[in-house]
């Protein structure tokens, strides 16, 4: 497809958006298009440049592949950006310096003793070994404490440190307060959403997920499954729970994990008793976590301290005529006069040069004369 052919498809896309304001998540839930798009974070700390963090799902809950400026469109304050003016870029998160955070939750109760727990430890160690240097991991173990869990490790980048703490973990719990432990993991994850991108370091965290290794049998949690699901539903951006369900006992409790994963936009993996699947599963989870995209665009808006609407639309596969979109807002705020931040803004200015005449938009298409 030639670049010059693309503006017309984007124009058609956004014409449809104005006429049919359908949420991307609702479309996916109803199976209308087979894929979905969510904006889970917007950063305006490098104004006039805005970073938009996108998560996509196909019908198998896998990230969409090969998204770029050819199949991703942008509309700001009701007007579509022209792709050929190169006022925005689309990059895979895995190729950027931002960090992702993952809470590993290991069920260390008696029902997991033996091969299930040993397989969980090995899979968790593999997850840690294959993470990127900037990514952070925390570890919670479901054990017999007053809270129902033990904090094995807080957020940590050092894989060796995480490995040593993991190796000391013992499977000796008498009860498994799964729901209380997952609630604690969600509380830890909430901190990520409030951390500022206005930092001299590039590896600030932008997303968090929970990976739980368990048989799903909850015993004695203060929270019920329904109450925990209620908390998940109330979140503006749920923290996805990836459940790796493995047990050497009957699998009747796996449905508890399945319900939590589906409600949080995570994924459920019923491994059962097949330990050989564990490595494949953790690799798939990591692929999903790093499968997000970052859209960076230049804003032609004066600093006014207000929020301004924009939309991101996807045509996938390219040329298919199938579209979905998500809406969000950016803040027009003056960035701090900090040298490191100003240097980042200057670098972005070289990559996304100002549009001629300060006009990044598509040209209006003249209506055909009536017969």
CATH code where residue 149 lies: 3.40.50.410
- Examine residue 115 and state whether it is found in any structural domain, yes or no: yes
Query: What domain count does the chain have?
Result: 1
Q: How far is CA 165 from the centre of its chain?
A: 27
pLDDT given at position 324 = 86
- Number of helices and strands (H, E) in the chain? 9, 14
Domain hosting residue 105, numbered range: 99-289
Whether 272 maps to a domain, the answer reads: yes
Q: Which tokens go with 108?
A: 């260390």
72 DSSP assignment: E
Q: Which residues contact 289 (CB under 8 A, 6 or more apart)?
A: 100, 102, 207, 209
Residue 233 lies in a domain: yes
Q: Between the CA of residue 268 and those of 15, 92, 174, 264, what are the distances in Å?
A: 37, 24, 25, 11
Task: Evaluate whether 129 touches 279 at the Cβ level (below 8 Å).
Answer: no
The reply to whether 357 falls in a domain is: no
Answer yes or no: is 211 within a domain. Answer: yes
In a domain, 33, yes or no: no
Closest CA to 179 of 142, 153, 213, 211: 142
- pLDDT of 319 reads 80
Q: Is residue 128 part of a domain?
A: yes
Would residue 198 count as lying in a domain?
yes
User: Measuring CA to CA, how many Å separate 22 from each of 32, 63, 68, 265, 337?
Assistant: 11, 21, 23, 18, 40
Task: Report the pLDDT value the prediction gives residue 20, as an integer from 0 to 100.
Answer: 31
**Per-residue pLDDT at 370:** 57
Q: What is the pTM of this model?
A: 0.84
- Orientation of helix 225-234 relative to helix 254-263, angle to 10°: 10
Helices marked H in 130-202: 159-167, 178-194
| pLDDT, one tens digit for every residue, the chain (371 residues) | 333 334 334 433 443 333 333 333 433 333 335 788 999 999 999 999 999 999 998 888 889 999 998 899 999 988 999 999 999 999 999 999 999 999 999 999 888 888 888 989 999 999 999 999 999 999 999 999 999 999 999 999 999 999 999 999 999 888 899 999 999 999 998 875 455 444 445 568 899 999 999 999 999 999 999 999 999 999 888 899 999 998 776 788 999 999 999 999 899 998 865 666 788 899 999 999 999 999 999 999 999 999 999 999 998 877 887 778 899 999 999 999 999 999 999 999 999 999 999 999 998 765 555 55
């Amino acid at each position: 497809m030639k670049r010059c052919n693309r503006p017309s498809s984007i124009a058609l896309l956004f014409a449809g958006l104005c006429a049919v304001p359908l949420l991307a998540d609702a479309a996916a839930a109803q199976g209308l298009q087979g894929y979905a798009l969510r904006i889970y974070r917007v950063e305006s700390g490098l104004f006039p440049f805005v970073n938009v963090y996108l998560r996509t799902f196909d019908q198998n809950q896998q990230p969409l592949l090969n998204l770029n400026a050819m199949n991703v469109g942008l509309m700001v304050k009701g007007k579509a950006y022209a792709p050929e003016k190169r006022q925005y870029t689309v990059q895979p998160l895995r190729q950027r310096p931002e960090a992702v955070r993952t809470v590993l939750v290991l069920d260390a109760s008696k029902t997991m003793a033996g091969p299930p727990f040993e397989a969980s430890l090995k899979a968790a160690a593999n997850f840690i070994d294959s993470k990127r240097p900037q990514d952070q991991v925390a570890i919670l173990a479901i054990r017999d404490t007053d809270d129902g869990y033990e904090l094995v490790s807080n957020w940590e980048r050092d894989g060796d440190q995480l490995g040593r703490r993991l190796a000391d973990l013992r499977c000796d719990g008498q009860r498994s307060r799964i729901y209380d432990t997952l609630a604690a993991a969600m509380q830890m994850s909430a901190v990520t959403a409030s951390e500022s991108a206005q930092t001299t370091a590039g590896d600030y965290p932008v997303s968090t997920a929970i990976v739980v290794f368990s048989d799903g049998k909850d015993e004695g949690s203060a929270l019920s499954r329904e109450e925990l699901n209620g908390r998940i539903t109330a979140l503006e951006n749920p923290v996805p729970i990836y459940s790796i369900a493995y047990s050497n006992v009957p699998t009747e409790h796996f449905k508890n994990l399945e319900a939590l994963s589906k409600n949080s936009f995570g994924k459920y993996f019923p491994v059962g008793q097949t330990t050989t699947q564990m490595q494949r599963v953790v690799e798939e989870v990591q692929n999903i976590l790093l499968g997000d995209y970052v859209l960076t665009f230049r804003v032609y808006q004066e600093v006014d301290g207000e929020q301004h609407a924009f939309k991101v639309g996807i045509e996938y596969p390219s040329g298919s005529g199938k579209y979905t979109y998500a809406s969000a807002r950016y803040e027009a705020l003056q960035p701090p006069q900090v040298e490191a931040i100003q240097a980042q803004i200057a670098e972005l200015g070289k990559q996304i040069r100002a549009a001629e005449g300060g006009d990044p938009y598509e040209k209006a298409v003249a209506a055909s004369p009536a017969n």
